[in-house]
């Protein structure tokens, strides 16, 4: 019996391996728009796809970042400035894309642009802090997608949304985890709605990688800024010692585990764009696969115990 079971499992992975190796034809004729190409995953993916011959439309928030990317790429790659938090910027970029792709449509849309902060314990933050993150990571992603969806549908192409392990497991206060949970929900509903049109939707869930968004000094500054703006009664409840211990824990044990090999993520993005049979979800990084993803399926009390183990306690905790 066990031999038959092992054979079935082996056959399943063999078929899966074969399906995932099949690549879409005529990739050199296909256009892909990537947001957030100024640095990090988007910048590397733009150069990676350009090197493989795709027609890359790289959206950067500033012209300076766009110039730097063009200097590192071939003449095929084109850039556009885009701030996904501004409707007028999205409208202008959409028109620019229409002029480039014409009747061929847009094969791939990679919603990669995002911000990480403001970070902090939820009680330290204001509504505006949450809105700042949600406007970019969630509402910006939605607006860009809705604006370009007719072009993607025309090409029967792909939408690739960059979420995070934080979209599976919320472990820090602020709008980041909330926004990524929202990206997951938006992607799931979009996938089902677009399936009849031949459009595929994939979600990328990176673990902890070293990018400008996760710069240790910047994250610590955001936590400090959140504390500084907290109400006096909140500071009294938590205490200065809590802040010192929390920042020390972040700087010495949490943030330093970030990995620098960003290609683990961009390879997943490329597969989602170029494979005949892309996956629905891609977990990138050993921590995502072996720690956060399994933990998201654990009983809540157990996941809570693991995530809060070793954390300092507020001054007036019970």
Catalytic positions are 176
Measured in whole angstroms, the distance separating CA 95 from the mean position of its chain's CA atoms is 25
DSSP state of 68: H
**Which pair of structure tokens corresponds to residue 11?**
């056959």
Q: What is the Cα Rg of the chain in Å?
A: 21
Measured in whole angstroms, the distance separating CA 46 from the mean position of its chain's CA atoms is 15
Are 227 and 124 within 8 A, CB to CB?
A: yes
* CA dist 134 → 36, 119, 168, 182, 224 (Å): 16, 13, 17, 9, 21
Report whether the peptide linkage leading into residue 118 is cis, meaning its omega lies within 30 degrees of zero. Answer: yes
Which one, of 25, 28, 17, 61, lies nearest residue 43 by Cα?
61
The set of residues, in sequence order, having a beta carbon less than 8 Å from that of 315 and lying 6+ positions away, is 236, 237, 238, 239, 241, 242
Buried b (16+ CB within 10 A) or exposed e, 301-311: eebeeeeeeee
Are 167 and 180 within 8 A, CB to CB?
A: yes
Are 34 and 80 within 8 A, CB to CB?
A: no
DSSP state of 173: S
| Residues forming a β-bridge with 282 | 204
């Amino acid at each position: 019996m066990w031999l038959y079971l092992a054979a079935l499992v082996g056959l399943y992975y063999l078929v899966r391996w074969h399906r995932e190796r099949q690549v879409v034809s005529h990739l050199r004729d296909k256009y892909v728009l990537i947001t957030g190409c100024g640095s990090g995953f988007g910048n590397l993916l733009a150069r990676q796809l350009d090197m493989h011959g795709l027609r890359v439309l790289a959206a950067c928030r500033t012209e300076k970042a766009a110039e730097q990317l063009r200097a590192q790429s071939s003449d095929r790659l084109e850039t556009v400035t885009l701030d996904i938090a501004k409707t007028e910027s999205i409208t202008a970029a959409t028109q620019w894309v229409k002029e480039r792709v014409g009747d061929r449509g847009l094969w791939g849309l990679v919603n990669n642009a995002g911000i990480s902060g403001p970070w902090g314990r939820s009680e330290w933050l204001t509504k505006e802090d949450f809105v700042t993150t949600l406007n970019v990571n969630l509402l910006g992603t939605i607006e860009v997608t809705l604006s370009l969806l007719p072009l993607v549908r025309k090409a029967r192409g792909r939408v690739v949304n960059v979420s995070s392990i934080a979209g599976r497991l919320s472990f820090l206060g602020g709008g980041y985890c909330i926004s990524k949970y929202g990206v997951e929900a938006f992607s799931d509903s979009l996938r089902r709605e677009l399936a009849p049109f031949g459009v595929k939707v994939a979600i990328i869930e990176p673990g902890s990688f070293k990018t400008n968004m996760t710069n240790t000094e910047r994250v610590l500054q955001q936590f400090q800024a959140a504390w500084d703006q907290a109400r006096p009664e909140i500071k009294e409840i938590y205490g200065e010692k809590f802040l010192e211990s929390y920042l020390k824990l972040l700087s010495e044990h949490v943030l330093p585990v970030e990995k620098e090999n960003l290609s683990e993520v961009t390879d997943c993005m490329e597969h989602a764009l170029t494979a005949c049979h892309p996956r629905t979800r891609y977990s990138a990084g050993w921590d995502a696969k072996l720690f956060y993803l399994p933990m998201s399926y654990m009983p809540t009390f157990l996941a809570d115990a693991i995530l809060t183990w070793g954390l300092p306690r507020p001054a007036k905790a019970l």
